[in-house]
Amino acid sequence: MSEDDSIPAPETSEKPAEKSPERRRSWLDRISSAFSGEPSSRDDLVALLRDAQSDGLIASDTLRMMEGAIAVSELTVGDVMVSRSQMVSLPIAARFLDLMKEVVESGHSRFPVHGENKDEVLGILLAKDLLRGVVADNGPGNVRELLRPAVLIPESKKLNLLLKEFRLSRNHMAIVVDEYGGVAGLVTIEDVLEQIVGEIDDEHDDAEEGVDQIAAHADGRYVVDALTPIADFNERFGADFPDDEYDTVGGLVTAAIGHLPDTDEELTLGAFEFRVAKADARRVHAFHVSVLSSDH
């Protein structure tokens, strides 16, 4: 009996070896309450996830995606859409050769096709359908025959609902209309997914060859492209920022701030002050960087 009574002893002796037991209990209390049906806010849930990342329970990349997934339910189409002025829309009356030229120059794969003006959207033209029409044995036919139906959605539509519709309908583009029925812009499935996983680059998104991603200004500041590799930043300024978790300056600074920053938000990292020079609902594009130490 006395030997049996001593069996729990090793279990209690292991408890003191745990790191920060009070903090872990607090974390477990919070996560249990989050799923117990008790009232809680999104901010509480995000704080909970950040605690989990700090405790090493989830990776930083996973945290960013989980935060993005939470944010998607709060964002609307109007927050991420490509505005009407930036749309690449093709006129129905254009010749096939002119359409092909526009496809090649833009690098896009889907295009709204309009009638007399951009508000008259007739359908969506896929680059692959256009190519098939051009190389067809019987020659190019009517562009209308290649169009696919256009999906129209309001600016106020939530992104999580749009993503579900994209998945069910297998559409990758929707035309955004304003309250008067006019075309306000367009949104693609990539625009939505980038809110969760971050910027999705393809061969057309690469920085132009020869363009300096770090430009010096006369006032002593620098303009740094957010996609500048951390290794390049370190080499330019003699810095030693780690690049094991983040590849770019934008990823490093955004993670340090703890959220997607707005224009003019500031953060000091080491000997550098970063001020957001340009940002939108999807990502940071550029920083103004000041060197605080006197040895640069």
Q: Report yes or no on 192 lying in a domain.
A: yes
Q: Which of 156, 199, 145 is nearest to 178 (CA)?
A: 156
Take residue 141 and report the two structure tokens written for it.
Answer: 């036919």
Q: What is the DSSP letter of 208?
A: P
Predicted local distance difference test score (pLDDT) of residue 12? 44
| Residues 98 and 187 occupy one common structural domain | yes
Predicted local distance difference test score (pLDDT) of residue 29? 62
Predicted local distance difference test score (pLDDT) of residue 105? 80
Task: Dihedral sign for Cα 19, 22, 27, 32, please.
Answer: positive
The helix/strand/coil state of 50 is helix
Pairwise CA distance, residues 222 & 233, whole Å: 11
| Residues 84 and 193 occupy one common structural domain | yes
Q: Report yes or no on 127 lying in a domain.
A: yes
> Tell me, what CATH number does 250's domain have?
3.30.465.10
| Residues 163 and 84 occupy one common structural domain | yes
Q: Report yes or no on 6 lying in a domain.
A: no
253-287 burial, b for 16+ CB within 10 Å, e for fewer? Answer: bbeebeebbeeebebebeebbbbbbebebbbbbbb
Predicted local distance difference test score (pLDDT) of residue 259? 84
- How many domains, the chain? 3
Q: Report yes or no on 171 lying in a domain.
A: yes
> How crowded is the C-beta side of 120, counted as CA atoms within 13 Å?
7
Q: Report yes or no on 13 lying in a domain.
A: no
| Residues 111 and 64 occupy one common structural domain | no
Q: Which of 161, 189, 159, 158 is nearest to 174 (CA)?
A: 189
Predicted local distance difference test score (pLDDT) of residue 63? 78
| Residues 65 and 173 occupy one common structural domain | no
The 8 Å CB, 24+ separation contacts for 118-121 are: 118/84, 118/87, 118/89, 118/183, 119/181, 119/182, 119/183, 121/89, 121/150, 121/152, 121/175, 121/183
Q: Report yes or no on 205 lying in a domain.
A: no
Domain of residue 224 covers 214-291
| Residues 180 and 82 occupy one common structural domain | yes
- For the entire predicted model, the pTM comes to 0.54
| Residues 108 and 185 occupy one common structural domain | yes
Predicted local distance difference test score (pLDDT) of residue 209? 43
Q: Report yes or no on 142 lying in a domain.
A: yes
Take residue 27 and report the two structure tokens written for it.
Answer: 């974390």
Q: Which of 274, 270, 276, 214 is nearest to 239 (CA)?
A: 270
pLDDT in tens, the chain (296 residues): 444 454 444 444 444 444 455 555 555 565 555 555 443 677 777 787 788 878 788 787 787 788 778 777 888 898 888 888 778 889 998 888 888 888 888 778 899 999 988 889 999 999 888 887 776 645 556 788 889 999 999 999 999 899 999 989 888 899 999 888 899 999 998 888 887 776 665 544 544 444 468 888 877 889 999 989 999 999 999 999 998 878 889 989 988 998 888 888 999 999 999 999 887 656 788 899 999 865 54
| Residues 92 and 144 occupy one common structural domain | yes
| Residues 91 and 36 occupy one common structural domain | no
Predicted local distance difference test score (pLDDT) of residue 207? 46
Residue 196, number of CB atoms within 10 A of its CB: 18
| Residues 145 and 54 occupy one common structural domain | no
Q: Are 226 and 285 in contact (CB under 8 A)?
A: yes
| Residues 160 and 233 occupy one common structural domain | no
| Residues 238 and 156 occupy one common structural domain | no
